[in-house]
Amino acid sequence: MIRKCIASDFERIFKIINDAAQAYKRIIPAEYWKEPYMSMDELRHELDECIEMWGYEENGELTGVMGIQHRQNVTLIRHAYVSTSRQNQGIGGKLLSHLIELTTEPVLIATWSKAIWAVRFYEKNGFKLLSREEGNQLQRKYWSSPEIKIKASVVLADEKWFDLINLTNFQKQLITFTPLTTGLYSAMTFNTIWGSLMMLSLPHPPQIIN
């Protein structure tokens, strides 16, 4: 079953993370590889940063963990790991699906660029790989990673992220083409129209009459 982790799960979370993270050995920047990959102090710090951990439990024992973190207007998936003995059995996919259902915000995920198996896993579950430039910008905005880690990582996004980008671009176009000089419309009017349109779930935006 999937459940929210509690304080008594701390050591088990620590073990799962460092067991699964062995896959990163020799593929990530050397300065980032250490034993353990994530220390207990580092894990405590992450939890103090309001990362909410969820776990997949089998026969009373956690075999996979995954975190969720709300940042500004998006939700981040953090620290997704499954015990090596239980990998490739659908646990990661179940955890990811569950966490996505917990939020209505766009979901972003960052992972090491050379962790090809991780990138493919997220793509299989509906995420799309962003350009390196956009991914780096998003990491600087939503994560607190040092520059060297940013440059060695990639970002993937769900459909809600692309919907947000399309909406933002559309609003910018409305403002750009608003004929303020004639006094017919204002940027506020167009934003009001578009907001009402989204609430009513109409299939097409109104045509702009010049």
Span 115-172, pLDDT tens digits: 999 999 999 999 999 999 999 999 999 999 999 999 999 999 999 999 988 877 767 7
Q: What pLDDT, on the 0 to 100 scale, is given for residue 198?
A: 54
pTM: 0.80
User: For every residue of 49-92, which 3-state class applies, written as one string?
Assistant: CCCEEEEEEECCEEEEEEEEEEECCEEEEEEEEECHHHCCCCHH
The residue among 55 and 202 whose pLDDT is bigger is 55
* CATH match of 2-158 with 1.10.3720.10: no
Given a cut of 70, is residue 208 above it in pLDDT?
no
Q: What pLDDT, on the 0 to 100 scale, is given for residue 84?
A: 97
What's the CA dihedral at 123, 124, 127, 132 to 10 degrees? 0
Given a cut of 80, is residue 16 above it in pLDDT?
yes
Kindly report the average pLDDT of the chain as a whole number. 87
Q: Strand, coil or helix: what is 30?
A: helix
The domain segmentation of the chain, as residue ranges, is 2-158, 162-200
pLDDT tens, residue by residue, 67-113: 999 999 999 999 999 999 999 999 999 999 999 999 999 999 999 99
